[in-house]
């Protein structure tokens, strides 16, 4: 199979965006792990929940296989997908929306683009051949769709992969996308007026693509993701000497230091003042 199952891809939602070695964060992460373990134990004693999870995985795996087997067929549509799944179109639509949060047409389109990414790794196929092999009759339309989805043209994508390979960089495109998103947000971190529309333009993708991509990779909405970046940046600034909490708040785009403190505590489990105090004690112990 060209792609891993969508279900496996969805599991990446739970990854942490940026790691940190500070003590309060580690303790908070340990508490979160204990909660997750407890929840896991509860779920294991609920067959109904497990059955639903199995049903979801089975459905996602089957629909992935059906689409992959017809990926080169440009005429493949919702009706044929429903026939391949042996269910009605209305049931198919409801289940795809429930389990994958996309319409059937967008799902097929998404998997075509993902398949093309894999094919572009090979230099034996030109752009037109990749387009035809993933169900696009028009290479120009394929290039347009590819750029709308990923922010790069197929040619630019292939070039970036080649350069990364030469440098020995094994980061995936998804990791590169996240790094680019974080960099763009950090450049505008103190700008309170920086909107979601501007963010999408900076990333060179549509708003719907940006929303879906960030949700898939981080489990966060773009607004939550942006706030996460702000708080992580604040943590770095608070780790430096000479910064007041209000200064850090304004530096990372919070107009209200009190609101910033609440957000920081929700993320790290301690208020900014407590965080600074913990760092101060840690430095004294080292000395």
Q: Does 135 share its domain with 249?
A: no
Considering only residues 47 and 58, tell me which one the structure prediction assigns the higher pLDDT: 58
The answer to the question of residue 71 being in a domain is yes
DSSP per-residue letters across 159-217: HHHHHHHHHT----HHHHHHHHHHHHHHHTTT-TT--HHHHHHHHTS-HHHHHHHHHHH
Q: What is the CATH number of the domain that holds 132?
A: 1.10.10.60
Confidence of residue 141 (pLDDT cuts 50, 70, 90): very high
In this structure, are 158 and 51 located in the same domain? yes
pLDDT of residue 51: 58
> Of the candidates 169, 185, 204, which is a domain's last residue?
169
Is residue 164 domain-shared with residue 59, that is, in the same domain?
Answer: yes
Least confident window among 14-18, 121-125, 166-170 = 14-18
Asked if residue 165 and residue 233 are part of one domain, the reply reads no
Note whether 64 and 158 are same-domain residues: yes
Q: In this structure, is residue 123 part of a structural domain?
A: yes
Residue 57 lies in a domain: yes
pLDDT number for residue 88: 93
Flag whether 151 is in a domain: yes
Find the range with the poorest average confidence among 64-73, 165-174, 233-242, 263-272. Answer: 165-174
50 and 157, same domain (yes or no):
yes
pLDDT higher for 112 or 191? 112
The SS3 of residue 34 is helix
Q: What is the span of the domain harbouring residue 57? A: 46-169
Residue 161: pLDDT band by 50, 70, 90 thresholds? confident
Q: Which of 169, 193, 213 is the last residue of a domain?
A: 169
Domain tally, the chain? 2
Residue 278 within a domain? yes
Domain-embedded: residue 200: no
């Amino acid at each position: 199979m060209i792609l891993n199952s969508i279900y496996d891809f969805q599991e990446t939602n739970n990854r942490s965006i940026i790691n940190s070695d500070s003590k309060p964060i580690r303790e908070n992460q340990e508490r979160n792990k204990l909660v997750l373990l407890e929840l896991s134990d509860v779920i294991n004693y609920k067959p109904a929940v497990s059955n639903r999870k199995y049903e979801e995985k089975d459905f996602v795996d089957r629909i992935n296989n059906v689409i992959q087997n017809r990926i080169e067929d440009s005429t493949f549509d919702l009706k044929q997908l429903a026939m391949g799944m042996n269910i009605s179109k209305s049931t198919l639509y409801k289940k795809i929306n429930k389990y994958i949060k996309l319409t059937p047409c967008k799902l097929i389109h998404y998997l075509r683009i993902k398949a093309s990414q894999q094919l572009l790794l090979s230099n034996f196929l030109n752009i037109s051949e990749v387009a035809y092999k993933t169900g696009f009759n028009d290479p120009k339309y394929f290039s347009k769709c590819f750029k709308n989805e990923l922010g790069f043209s197929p040619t630019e994508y292939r070039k970036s992969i080649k350069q990364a390979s030469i440098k020995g960089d094994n980061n995936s495109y998804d990791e590169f996308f996240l790094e680019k998103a974080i960099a763009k947000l950090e450049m505008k971190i103190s700008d309170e007026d920086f909107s979601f529309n501007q963010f999408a333009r900076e990333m060179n993708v549509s708003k719907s693509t940006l929303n879906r991509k960030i949700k898939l990779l981080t489990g966060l909405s773009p607004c939550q993701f942006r706030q996460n970046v702000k708080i992580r940046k604040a943590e770095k600034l608070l780790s430096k000497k000479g910064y007041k909490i209000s200064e850090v708040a304004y530096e990372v785009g919070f107009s209200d230091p009190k609101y910033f403190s609440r957000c920081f505590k929700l993320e790290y489990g301690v208020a900014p003042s407590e965080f600074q105090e913990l760092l101060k004690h840690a430095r004294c112990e080292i000395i």
